[in-house]
Amino acid sequence: MEEVVGVIQGLRGRTSDIVYDLFFAEKRVVAGIVLHFSDLSDIYRKIDAWTFLFGSLSERSQVKMRSARLMEERRLAFEDKTLDEILASHEANVEIVYENVVSVQVKRGLLQTSLEFVVQGDPEKKISFWLGDSQVAEVQGLIKRLLPSKIR
């Protein structure tokens, strides 16, 4: 069985309402969705434009409570799954095989920090995750350990 070397929880995907946990193993990283905007579509459908823009405590509370519950449930489910099972558990999950990585970097921007993988393909594909300041050192340690020749 493939050993997971490190897990980074709560990285943001393409949009702020997609949250991944990254499972770093010896030959690949699997990004498992713990929250996807489609999980909250029934709540968002009920909200009119005014409420969406300016918010209401009731709707915000409902979104936060459901988000926290879903993330907890998915993380508990991940504990009993292999990386292949995690990968197959949601269509938006991502696998990045290290031998296909052209480069990887932790990129500090003005407001956010991202973990960016450039993966072989035609054309090459960039896969990015947004991370918090408290996660930077751990992510840098994992990529230094697992992908030292690919760091840009």
Helix residue ranges, H only, the chain = 41-46, 49-54, 57-79, 83-88, 136-146
Q: Is the per-residue pLDDT at 97 higher than 90? A: yes
Q: Which residues pair with 63 in a beta bridge?
A: none
DSSP for residue 151: B
At 25 the pLDDT is: 98
DSSP for residue 126: E
Handedness of CA 52, 54, 57, 63 (dihedral sign): positive
Specify the CATH number for the domain of residue 63: 2.30.29.30
Q: Is the per-residue pLDDT at 125 higher than 90? A: yes
Q: Number of folded domains in the chain?
A: 1
At 15 the pLDDT is: 75
Q: Which of 28-37, 46-55, 80-89 is the least confident region?
A: 46-55
pLDDT in tens, 138-152: 999 999 999 999 999
In angstroms, the CA 35 to CA 20 distance is 7
In angstroms, the CA 133 to CA 149 distance is 24
Which residue type sits at 6? G
- Angle in degrees, CA 22, 24, 28, rounded to 5: 110
How many Cα neighbours within 13 Å face the side chain of 47? Answer: 19
Q: Which domain holds residue 146?
A: 4-150
